[in-house]
């Protein structure tokens, strides 16, 4: 089949969406399908970095679309970046021929990109697969970016509903997201639940103290509590930061924040305001080295916003569990994350605002023997290896796509 994919981020971008999509595209070509990707010329995290207009990765043809590059520093700038990409993408896709592609796969970044995709699929006589990494505008409404009851909310929800109804198949990441989609009147046969997978190519199995990333960054023998990934407005860091402040005099702990996003500056400001030496901030790591950075933690933080259940899916849990790390979850129950941790004993789970409980849990974790902490991590690793491998989950997505080749 000839497959067209539309997404803001794609290889060599380090955004999670890019890495998962790249895995899928590569495996589609291995199966003999022709894959072409339309993505942004600008790096997702650093829009000053621009890629070639036309490129190729493995057997995948890449066409990159111009859009504004204001970045994440301001709300209006981000909206302009999204709008210009979607408009320029739509105009570019109008030039493709009818029946040129069997399948169009649409993502969720930037918001409403799959609305563009489903219209083009209708015009060009292609089937449309909606891979819902998160749901917009629902997520923006839940977090206050879009005012509830406003005309904008009604218009955007109407656009989202149109996308659901016109998509030939929708891939949701968890049962909570699928439940919301089905409430829109979507037939169960048009909806699959397929989580994502760890994206690292390797796992660090060496001695904890000899991890190159620990050595380079001077972690020493501290208990490293790591938040790695996008610092999103959706997943508040307040509970974690309050605990960091409470433990500032406990020299056993180091809180490491890796990555970027709109709330990265919040961490910096909090560190300065409270004069915290137990916070270390580091930029995004390349995929080739992520097994060292993730493997340098003693426990990984996963956060889920209270109003975001069913609208987004914190996939950082898979990478953390894959490398054999215990998990510290801050978020509501039930959720996809809490469902996993109920099956994996020994991890830490608290709700937002439970600062004292989290502080006590971390002190208890620090007093555990290293062997006992490693047992928790090993159980997590085995759990992921049995359920969330790339081979298994990409295979399920490809099966959902290949149904339309029959």
**203 is a domain residue:** no
Give the confidence band of 199 by pLDDT, cuts at 50, 70, 90. confident
Confidence at residue 81, expressed as pLDDT on a 0 to 100 scale: 95
**Listed range (6-20, 195-209, 270-284) with the worst mean pLDDT:** 195-209
pLDDT at 337 over 90: yes
Confidence at residue 249, expressed as pLDDT on a 0 to 100 scale: 96
In tens, the pLDDT along 374-388 reads: 999 999 999 999 999
**234 is a domain residue:** yes
Confidence at residue 19, expressed as pLDDT on a 0 to 100 scale: 92
Task: Work out the angle between the directed axes of helices 151-166 and 113-124 (0-180°, nearest 10).
Answer: 40
**310 is a domain residue:** yes
User: Are residue 190 and residue 237 in the same domain, yes or no?
Assistant: no
User: Are residue 260 and residue 399 in the same domain, yes or no?
Assistant: no
Residues 6+ apart with CB under 8 A from 352: 236, 238, 239, 306, 330, 331, 332
Give the confidence band of 201 by pLDDT, cuts at 50, 70, 90. confident
How far apart CA 122 and CA 141 sit, in angstroms, is: 28
Please say whether the dihedral angle defined by the alpha carbons of residues 48, 49, 52 and 56, taken in this order, is positive or negative.
negative
pLDDT at 286 over 90: no
pLDDT at 204 over 90: no
Give the confidence band of 397 by pLDDT, cuts at 50, 70, 90. very high
**314 is a domain residue:** yes
Average pLDDT of the residues of the chain: 94
**43 is a domain residue:** yes
Of the candidates 59, 113, 115, 50, the residue with the CA atom closest to the CA atom of residue 84: 113
pLDDT at 406 over 80: no
Of the candidates 98, 92, 108, the residue with the CA atom closest to the CA atom of residue 8: 108
User: Are residue 164 and residue 139 in the same domain, yes or no?
Assistant: yes
Of the candidates 180, 13, 8, the residue with the CA atom closest to the CA atom of residue 106: 8
Segments forming the whole domain that contains residue 6? 2-197+389-405
Bigger pLDDT: 245 or 261? Answer: 245
User: Are residue 296 and residue 394 in the same domain, yes or no?
Assistant: no
User: Are residue 394 and residue 383 in the same domain, yes or no?
Assistant: no
**268 is a domain residue:** yes
User: Are residue 136 and residue 236 in the same domain, yes or no?
Assistant: no
Number of separate helices (H) and strands (E) present in the chain: 15, 14
**67 is a domain residue:** yes
pLDDT at 257 over 70: yes
User: Are residue 94 and residue 184 in the same domain, yes or no?
Assistant: yes
Q: What is the mean pLDDT of residues 325-341?
A: 97
Bigger pLDDT: 45 or 77? Answer: 77
Query: Strand ranges (DSSP E) for 273-343?
Result: 279-282, 299-303, 327-330
User: Are residue 218 and residue 364 in the same domain, yes or no?
Assistant: yes
| H or E element that contains 172 | strand 169-172
Phi then psi for 405, rounded to 5 degrees? -100, 5
Confidence at residue 197, expressed as pLDDT on a 0 to 100 scale: 95
Domain count, the chain: 2
**Listed range (4-8, 239-243, 283-287, 297-301) with the worst mean pLDDT:** 283-287
Point out which residues pair with 280 in neighbouring strands: 256
Task: Return the percentage of the chain with pLDDT > 90, whole number.
Answer: 86
User: Are residue 363 and residue 352 in the same domain, yes or no?
Assistant: yes
Give the confidence band of 233 by pLDDT, cuts at 50, 70, 90. confident
**H-type alpha helices, 14-101:** 16-30, 75-93
CATH number at residue 256: 3.40.50.2000
User: Are residue 112 and residue 190 in the same domain, yes or no?
Assistant: yes
**202 is a domain residue:** no
Give the confidence band of 143 by pLDDT, cuts at 50, 70, 90. confident
Buried b (16+ CB within 10 A) or exposed e, 374-391: bbbbebbbebbeeebebe
Confidence at residue 284, expressed as pLDDT on a 0 to 100 scale: 83
In tens, the pLDDT along 89-117 reads: 999 999 999 999 999 999 999 999 999 99
Buried b (16+ CB within 10 A) or exposed e, 48-75: eeebeeebebeebebbbbebbbbbbeee
Dihedral of the CA atoms 347, 382, 388, 364 (nearest 10)? 10
User: Are residue 267 and residue 304 in the same domain, yes or no?
Assistant: yes
User: Are residue 240 and residue 177 in the same domain, yes or no?
Assistant: no
* Cα separation values, 41 from 112, 171, 279, 343, 383, Å: 18, 26, 34, 42, 38
Give the confidence band of 287 by pLDDT, cuts at 50, 70, 90. confident
């Amino acid at each position: 089949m000839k497959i067209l994919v539309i997404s803001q981020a794609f290889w060599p971008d380090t955004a999670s969406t890019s890495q998962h999509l790249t895995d899928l595209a590569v495996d589609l070509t291995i199966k003999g399908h022709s894959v072409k990707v339309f993505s942004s010329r600008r790096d997702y995290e650093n829009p000053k970095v621009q890629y070639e207009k036309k490129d190729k990765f493995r057997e995948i043809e890449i066409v990159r679309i111009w859009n504004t590059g204001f970045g994440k520093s301001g709300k209006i700038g981000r909206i302009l970046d999204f709008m210009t990409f979607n408009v320029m993408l739509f105009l570019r896709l109008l030039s493709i021929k009818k029946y040129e592609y069997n399948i169009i796969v649409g993502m969720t970044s930037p918001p409403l990109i799959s609305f563009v995709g489903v219209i083009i699929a209708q015009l060009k006589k292609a089937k449309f697969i909606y891979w819902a990494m998160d749901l917009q505008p629902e997520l923006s409404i839940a977090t206050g970016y879009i005012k509830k009851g406003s005309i904008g909310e009604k218009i955007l929800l109407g656009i989202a509903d149109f996308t659901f109804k016109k998509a030939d198949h929708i891939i949701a990441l968890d049962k909570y997201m699928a439940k919301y989609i089905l409430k829109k009147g979507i037939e169960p046969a048009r909806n699959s639940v397929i989580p994502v997978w760890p994206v690292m190519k390797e796992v660090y199995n060496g001695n904890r103290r000899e991890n190159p990333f620990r050595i380079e960054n001077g972690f020493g023998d501290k208990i490293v509590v790591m938040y790695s990934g996008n610092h999103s407005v959706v997943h508040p860091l307040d509970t974690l930061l309050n605990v960091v402040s409470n433990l500032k005099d406990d020299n056993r702990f180091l809180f490491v924040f890796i990555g970027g996003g709109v709330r990265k500056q919040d961490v910096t400001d909090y560190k300065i305001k409270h004069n915290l030496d137990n916070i270390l901030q580091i930029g995004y790591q390349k995929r080739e080295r992520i097994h060292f950075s993730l493997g340098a933690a003693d426990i990984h933080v996963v956060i889920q916003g209270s109003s975001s259940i069913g609208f987004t899916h914190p996939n950082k849990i898979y990478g953390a569990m894959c490398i054999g790390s215990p998990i510290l979850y801050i978020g509501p129950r039930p959720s996809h994350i809490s469902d996993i941790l109920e099956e994996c004993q020994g991890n830490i789970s608290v709700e937002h605002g439970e600062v004292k409980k989290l502080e006590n849990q971390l002190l208890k974790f620090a007093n555990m023997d290293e062997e006992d902490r490693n047992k928790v991590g090993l159980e997590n690793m085995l759990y992921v290896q049995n359920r969330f491998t790339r081979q298994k989950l990409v295979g399920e997505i490809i099966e959902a796509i290949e149904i339309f080749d029959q």
